[in-house]
Structure 1
């Protein structure tokens, strides 16, 4: 995987990870959506793609003859790559029922990595433990970012745990992101002998290149609230109310992020890009949809979403994508909600379908984290006073 990622970048290609956990139908749909010329596979995954998709085994890149290495090096050095070239594309859930392909430029990625080094989140002499799945954009930082700045990289086997003694002895800092930092995690880190390790809470949507804010804190102190901190260097932000007016301190509003990490747009979806990116004083900002407040010390506090987007174990999910998938069956109406911390529940209106049929349909079209835990079939979904489905 590491060789594949670096090879794609070195020859001027665009890296777009596909998760082997996704069903075959979704993998084929994503390949068609991003119009990939070739899919780089592992010997365990090559059979997931049919004859209509050109594949190349990752191991084949190791079969180059030694005497041709100088020629290969010369060819790679002549590949023109500019800061505006796309470095990678990462898929995120889409409310329209179709995943969105976030395009991140070379300069976005490099500036984000530079910002992280400025706040000592990652340093040249660090040893990075690679933990994130390829469906998380943070894996690009863990793998490609670590090697670019000269850090060492530990690739954990899926069966290994990051808390074992063999790994802990190398750690200088721990970074948490993807979801609000749970207070109960502090005691767990102390019990794992991480009291002398720097812990930081990072925040940032894929559209602003992995991380946009950071907050360093001491896990040995009593902490009631953990903020998402302050902006990384080269990032800017505004917090606006529903009337596009700046909100005062400690008042909630929607977060708009600008600066070095703002992405190039959604691949082949100019309509969605125009809604997500806005111009403020001749600069481009991404409207996150996240509701935040800023305290008197300038720290940002995450307060929730302005829409139906949720997070399940760090994965960003548009409930509308699941609902549209279910509506492709015989049901006439559907509502999906988040239940507890890690579960999704689908309420469907229909009489000619069973829970098993709905589950099988979702499992064949959606990634595992987007398949509802429960399907509740009703004769009719409840409506509110306006005649709309009452969530």
Structure 2
């Protein structure tokens, strides 16, 4: 990975390498900044900082004790999406370490838990005191010795865990190199190409975004957090930088289409992380040059199959396609034996993308990663079938793992967190439409369960509501029958209106009506959008409805920061006033 990048540093030092966060860096400048990060990590003592925002990553290096980074040691990165974030990633790899992303939106308790479990001693980026306190002060975490450069650890990405705690997937450099080679053979990227990175570093889609262009002489454009949340801003980035390749979730691509994006000739789009619906595939195909459906869990280094969308895919869920070069895909029964063509079974992935396993979880690694005569394989838990032409189709999950708005969630983790609240009783979680819902049998206040969840879970894993039920329905095997749980969840309802209170103004009334259209329940002016059951996808739709009805475009960040009906009505009024000036 690093040697591929450094070859382009030597060959085209003055070519633009990365743009992001208001900073543009050439290959030579990016390499120099990455070297500074690497030197700071390998030095036996605290580094000296710099006021230059482009090199602030060096000043934000946290180390609880003096000492140098050891080979393959995880280094936490909490740098916002920017050119500096890319330099931090490259710097960790140059120093021989493995980067471990920490998302700024995660609650401090979750970030601290991850740091403790991984035994992280070094972190780069802005961290609050409680998270810094979780950094290990002793010996480096135990990581298996590598057999060579390609066997060394590249990154550790934490995903939701069914036991109530997240689990760290260890991906080696050779896994990434093989992935890049396979993707490059299908969607070539080189000098003159620009790749747009819209995925957070903690989401493994970012691996292709970052390394495909930088290892093949292209340019990388990093969307900031605000730009990532705004489909209109993403459309502007695509046009401004003549983007030729991007990968995003169907949720994000759907928001782009709904925003009125006209598309761009020459753009190749990958859709991954969740099921790609046929109608969205059709809409994208009229706007870009190529559409690819991408499938693969984090444990198999992001992608195991690619499928180029054709008109034959428009009438149903788009198939997952055929294995990437170096990957092996089989559909197996409970004993691990391949099932006949056309029959349903568990998707099992082998080959060059199969990762090392879970950090510090040997039992879980042994359960999900198995040895076969053809090599090591990963049991995905996904159900699928092979068509007679060898194309793989996705048919759902065999366990409690779900995807909501492109994000991987273990329902068991939500259930474990909620069950820890005194009086919660039995707890179950399920997906209802594009929302998460939870159910409890105890006398605990549902609001208390949600408040507890917000302290430990990222926002995308917090249920829209908790509903009390008399008992959890069971399947014959004794497991919870999630499908039998109520579909009409008890979303928070507004307090009865005071008859003496003032009638809401027209804009506030209109915003309330739009909320009710999207959420399916009435809401009061002071209700919070997320607490009322809103999701990230609904927020995109809310913004588009405001644009259609009022003719104003409100930044996504403003909608996140002003999340009640009353606050959003004021934003719209301000936009209308500004437009009249």
Q: CA deviation at 1:46?
A: 4.5
**What is the distance in 2 between the residues matched to 1:302 and 1:206?**
17
Aligned counterpart, 1:128: 195
1:258 aligns with 2:350: yes
Aligned counterpart, 1:236: 328
Q: CA deviation at 1:226?
A: 1.4
Q: Using a 3 Å threshold, how does the CA distance of structure 1 residues 221 and 85 change in structure 2: closer, same or farther?
A: closer
Q: Using a 3 Å threshold, how does the CA distance of structure 1 residues 329 and 154 change in structure 2: closer, same or farther?
A: same
User: Higher relative contact order by CA 8 Å / sep ≥ 6: 1 or 2?
Assistant: 1
- Tell me if structure 1 keeps the 8 A contact 2:116–2:135: no
Q: CA deviation at 1:126?
A: 2.2
Q: Using a 3 Å threshold, how does the CA distance of structure 1 residues 178 and 234 change in structure 2: closer, same or farther?
A: same
Q: Using a 3 Å threshold, how does the CA distance of structure 1 residues 145 and 318 change in structure 2: closer, same or farther?
A: same
1:166 aligns with 2:239: yes
Worse-superposed segment, 117-126 or 295-304: 117-126
Aligned counterpart, 1:313: 405
**What is the distance in 2 between the residues matched to 1:251 and 1:327?**
38
1:13 aligns with 2:13: no
Q: 1:53 aligns with which of 100, 123, 135?
A: 135
- Tell me if structure 2 keeps the 8 A contact 1:117–1:123: no
Aligned counterpart, 2:155: 88
Q: Secondary structure at the match of 1:20?
A: coil
- Tell me if structure 2 keeps the 8 A contact 1:254–1:290: yes
Q: Using a 3 Å threshold, how does the CA distance of structure 1 residues 224 and 321 change in structure 2: closer, same or farther?
A: closer
Q: 2:218 aligns with which of 134, 144, 151?
A: 151
The TM-score normalised by the length of structure 2 is 0.59
Q: Secondary structure at the match of 1:116?
A: helix
Aligned counterpart, 1:37: 121
**What is the distance in 2 between the residues matched to 1:53 and 1:242?**
41
Aligned counterpart, 1:186: 281
Q: Secondary structure at the match of 1:286?
A: strand
**What is the distance in 2 between the residues matched to 1:292 and 1:388?**
22
**What is the distance in 1 between the residues matched to 2:308 and 2:190?**
15
- Structure 1: 5+ residue runs without aligned partners? 56-79
What do the CA deviations read for 1:191-237 (whole angstroms, capped 9, x no partner)?
Answer: 6x32xx11100100011101110001246985444111000001112
Aligned counterpart, 2:339: 247
Q: Secondary structure at the match of 1:49?
A: helix
Aligned counterpart, 2:184: 117
Aligned counterpart, 2:463: 372
Q: Using a 3 Å threshold, how does the CA distance of structure 1 residues 221 and 137 change in structure 2: closer, same or farther?
A: closer
Q: CA deviation at 1:153?
A: 0.8
Q: CA deviation at 1:328?
A: 0.8
**What is the distance in 2 between the residues matched to 1:95 and 1:158?**
28
- Tell me if structure 2 keeps the 8 A contact 1:350–1:380: no
**What is the distance in 2 between the residues matched to 1:381 and 1:114?**
48
Q: Judging by fraction of residues, say which structure has more strand.
A: 1
Q: Using a 3 Å threshold, how does the CA distance of structure 1 residues 167 and 107 change in structure 2: closer, same or farther?
A: same
Larger radius of gyration: 2
Q: How many residues align?
A: 360
Aligned counterpart, 2:377: 285
**What is the distance in 2 between the residues matched to 1:49 and 1:385?**
44
- Structure 2: 5+ residue runs without aligned partners? 1-84, 138-146, 245-266, 483-581
- Tell me if structure 2 keeps the 8 A contact 1:253–1:291: yes
1:304 aligns with 2:399: no
**What is the distance in 2 between the residues matched to 1:4 and 1:175?**
26
> Aligned-pair RMSD on alpha carbons?
2.3
